[in-house]
Structure 1
Amino acid sequence: MTSDLIQKALETATDTKAIVAGDGVVAETGAVFAAQFPGKKAVLVADENTWAAAGEAVEQSLEGAGVAVEGRYVFPGTPTLYAGYENVTKLREYLETVDAVACSVASGTLNDLTKLASGELGRPYMNVCTAASMDGYAAFGASITRDGFKITRNCPAPTALVADLRVMAAAPPRLTATGYGDLIEKIPGGADWLVADELGIEAVDQYVWGLVQDTLRGALADPKGCAAGDPAAISGLAEGLLMSGLAMQAHQSSRPASGAGHNFSHQWEMEGHGLDWEPPLSHGNKVGVGTVAACALYEKVLALDIDSVDVDAAVAAWPDPAANDARVEALQSIDAIREAALAQSRAKYVQPENIRGRVELIKEHWPRIIERITPQLVTASEAAQMLKDAGGPYHPSMLDIDQEKLKLTYFQAQTIRSRYTMFDTLQELGVFADVVESLFAPGGYWHDHPTAD
């Protein structure tokens, strides 16, 4: 892990002041805590699994540094914890009873619960990472489900992180695979940002772009090593995930780390898909499959004959606001998702008087769009192989998602976030439905790959 990169990224982090990463650094937890929270007591937060992985070592380090440990809150390890707001409430109510800073010994879900519970109390916290399982360690905000709808809720990032590579490499392989799935979506997600930049909708911040993209290919370079728990491969993956979180802090947005591929996961999560599995279907596993879906669509984009797009026809077919609302409502059968999707879709909707200008702009900039996104992308088959080598799901059938549901999710994914992606570009051109249908027709990726290998 290149600590110099992380230390440089910390210079623009809004919340995180210290990250210690390396082999055996769990022993430095107490020194980090004492430096960041002088005179404060600690309260440990874990579940039975993460406590077994590093809890005692963390507690010993804190006590060795003279930090008083006020108590422990250990969630059950089975059933596996999930990011429901009721668990935030339980933890917050416990933390209210102690005058101490939370030190979570945690991977994704438990880190988010501690982050939000501490944030709601106006308190800082720190985390000891137990797996290379997601990019949210160093990110602000927590992805929590409440009233059936999962969104990222505002709260500060951790003040400090300790990432012990020995602990992370020993994590269950399924957790490493979910981190790999979370990270690989930055490939098509980066292409989405390039499209938005080229059209003048959301400019690329070159510094933030570099935090994610400059380390991305290296972090993803050894999926088989990640699956095997190879320390060097885990180190690269962990660095990529931490840099992604720091980029989100610097940008105060998840744009550097999340594109349309993530929306597949968000849709399925909001529907509760896989929530009752044991263990629950992870965010990163769903994101990985969403990445394959996005890359498959981008292959069609690269082959699109832009000259065949009729501006007059696109303008004539563009729905007015009421018709667009009806389109969104028809796609979302769950009340909570429908209302949120309506709000998100309205935020990026192009008014009828402006659609001609948008379509003409897209056509004018299309050659430059293709030039910019081509070196950014991988094919769907390449993404699927990388995920397979990492030991994660790489086909929707592995998530109990059939082709009918997958096709529907393409259209749903376009509605649930106001963030502009290639899905919106195709929708504005009037060809989104045709491109999606072509993926399931002879010669399309999903027609040719109806099941996992």
Structure 2
Amino acid sequence: MTSQALLGALARAVDTSGAAVGRGVLAESGRHLAAHLGTGPYIVVADQNTWAAAGERLTFSLEDAGCTTIPPLIFPGRPTLYASYDNCEVIKAAMGAATPIALGAGTLNDLVKLAAFEMTRDYAVVGTAASMDGYTGAGAPMSEKGVKVTRNCKAPVVVIMDLDVVAAAPGFLTASGYGDLAAKIPGGADWILADVTGIEPIDEDVWAMVQSGVAPALSRPAALAAGDADAFEGLVEGLCLSGLAMQAYGGTRPASGAEHYFSHLWELAHLGVDLDPPLSHGGKVAIGSLAMCAFYEALLARDIAAIDLRAAADARQPWDEIEADIRTTFDGALADHAVRETKAKYASGNELYARLKPLVDQWPAVADRLRAQLVATDELSEQLRLAGASARPEDIGLTPDDVRATFPRAMYYRSRYTALDVAWELGIFDDLVEDVFTRIWI
């Protein structure tokens, strides 16, 4: 089953040519795989949990379609598999001449994706949970040498998501996917600002792929938490469309903004890795999304059109002071990474004035665009709570002060232009963060 929205997105996708989303599609998975990737040999890469959920049925469907397989690679179910490069190496060693099929969710898909790319193979994914939007994405977030970066690699040729399998997944995985899709709300607002300032214009077709389905996909949080398989269609399709949009765009801008940098930094700090199960990416992204929605509320409460832009541009810190601050904020390789990323977006004087002038001149219209995109922080928090997702910093083991301290780190972490940069360049960053924690959110 492939909806019109998915068909349209597949037409623009670079790597993915086939998608099946619906109830009972696992039984037809072998036929879909054979049609796009041939009859094998295949190797299924799973962990003990995902193999129990769908491994035998997937293998039977492959055999029924005339495909050959080699013995599967099944990682232990505990401890939870981690997206580290050494696990990618294990997969590469097991592949032989086979085409890999990732049977699982985020981590398994990312590891197989990167392993297949480095072995110059195509691959497929049979998703077992609506836990993230990376199924159809063309990159693989991977931790190596103390920094989490998205490694460039190809997306799957085929993605199969059986809603009955997905709905039966543990609730924390669904909550993670809900949080990841909610991130498209502040992430989209960040793209609007990058568009207005001329840094990264919006691709309207790609925008529509992601944003047109976000509100419907998030509209039934309680039914998702209850495991209602029919409620999963919008969520799963929204997550798949997000990944396909990244393929069409050639980057992750359509699916993420500053909210993801909160999550990445907490992941690099190993937040919640000692829990069982570990804190999910989407759980941390949910809190980052709330933080950014609150930041946007603070931004929209300001009369940006009244700011003396020339004075703000002239008051911009020189680069050497900023670099010194970055190196006191981060250590080691992460400090070097943050310096490179921040330097890439740094501007001052006339260059900064020219960047921000369209934003200041058009502020009433820009503010209307942002309000149409955003959701009130308290409303999003309630939706997340109903979905069983993280809705307060305490839900992921953080205090409000922990979140507050992450704001400047998130601003430095990536070169992608966001609301954090706009506020920083206008000289109101600290004031807005203060508003978040005294007036708007927590």
Q: Name the TM-score, length of structure 1 as normaliser.
A: 0.95
> Which stretch shifts more, 74-83 or 32-41?
32-41
Cα distance change, pair 298–59 in 1 and its aligned pair in 2 (3 A): same
SS in 1 for 2:213: helix
Q: Matched residues in 1 for 2:312 and 2:8: separation? A: 47
Superposed, 1:261-340 pairs within 5 Å as 261-332=259-330, 334-340=331-337
- Superposed CA deviations along residues 195-238 of structure 1, whole A, max 9, x for unmatched, are 11112111100000000111110011001111111112111100
Give the aligned residue type for 2:230. Answer: A
Give the aligned residue type for 2:186. Answer: P
Q: CA deviation at 1:141?
A: 0.8
Q: CA deviation at 1:3?
A: 1.3
1:391 matched to 2:388? The reply is: yes
> Which stretch shifts more, 48-57 or 272-281?
272-281
Give the aligned residue type for 1:42. Answer: Y
Q: Matched residues in 1 for 2:399 and 2:41: separation? A: 51
SS in 2 for 1:11: helix
Q: Matched residues in 2 for 1:45 and 1:420: separation? A: 37
Q: Matched residues in 2 for 1:151 and 1:19: separation? A: 27
Q: Matched residues in 2 for 1:53 and 1:224: separation? A: 23
Q: Matched residues in 1 for 2:160 and 2:366: separation? A: 40
SS in 2 for 1:150: strand
1:250 matched to 2:243? The reply is: no
User: Is the contact between residue 148 and residue 272 of structure 1 (CA under 8 Å) also seen in structure 2?
Assistant: no
- Superposed CA deviations along residues 273-307 of structure 1, whole A, max 9, x for unmatched, are 22232212110000011111001111111110225
User: Is the contact between residue 218 and residue 235 of structure 2 (CA under 8 Å) also seen in structure 1?
Assistant: yes
Q: CA deviation at 1:313?
A: 3.8
Aligned structure 1 segments of 4 or more residues deviating by more than 4 angstroms:
none
Q: Matched residues in 1 for 2:218 and 2:84: separation? A: 30
Structure 2 gap ranges (5+): none
SS in 2 for 1:69: coil
User: Is the contact between residue 320 and residue 352 of structure 1 (CA under 8 Å) also seen in structure 2?
Assistant: no
SS in 1 for 2:212: helix
Q: Matched residues in 1 for 2:67 and 2:189: separation? A: 46
SS in 2 for 1:74: strand
Q: CA deviation at 1:416?
A: 0.9
Q: CA deviation at 1:13?
A: 0.6
What's the RMSD between the two structures over aligned residues?
A: 1.4
Q: CA deviation at 1:351?
A: 3.5
SS in 2 for 1:142: strand
Q: Matched residues in 2 for 1:174 and 1:298: separation? A: 28
Counterpart for residue 70 of structure 1 = 70
- Superposed CA deviations along residues 8-52 of structure 1, whole A, max 9, x for unmatched, are 211111001111121111111111221122242111110000000
Counterpart for residue 139 of structure 1 = 137
Identical aligned pairs, as a percentage? 45
Counterpart for residue 433 of structure 2 = 436
User: Is the contact between residue 198 and residue 355 of structure 2 (CA under 8 Å) also seen in structure 1?
Assistant: no
Counterpart for residue 195 of structure 2 = 197
Match of 2:235 among 231, 234, 237: 237
User: Is the contact between residue 169 and residue 229 of structure 1 (CA under 8 Å) also seen in structure 2?
Assistant: yes
User: Is the contact between residue 197 and residue 204 of structure 1 (CA under 8 Å) also seen in structure 2?
Assistant: yes
User: Is the contact between residue 304 and residue 363 of structure 2 (CA under 8 Å) also seen in structure 1?
Assistant: yes
1:33 matched to 2:30? The reply is: no
User: Is the contact between residue 186 and residue 259 of structure 2 (CA under 8 Å) also seen in structure 1?
Assistant: yes
Q: Name the TM-score, length of structure 2 as normaliser.
A: 0.97
Q: CA deviation at 1:268?
A: 0.9
Cα distance change, pair 118–36 in 1 and its aligned pair in 2 (3 A): same
Give the aligned residue type for 2:418. Answer: T
Structure 1 gap ranges (5+): 447-453
Q: CA deviation at 1:440?
A: 2.1
Q: CA deviation at 1:434?
A: 1.1
1:406 matched to 2:403? The reply is: yes
Counterpart for residue 177 of structure 1 = 175
User: Is the contact between residue 212 and residue 247 of structure 1 (CA under 8 Å) also seen in structure 2?
Assistant: yes
Counterpart for residue 212 of structure 2 = 214
User: Is the contact between residue 270 and residue 337 of structure 1 (CA under 8 Å) also seen in structure 2?
Assistant: no
Q: Matched residues in 2 for 1:121 and 1:23: separation? A: 33
Superposed, 1:41-190 pairs within 5 Å as 41-95=41-95, 98-190=96-188
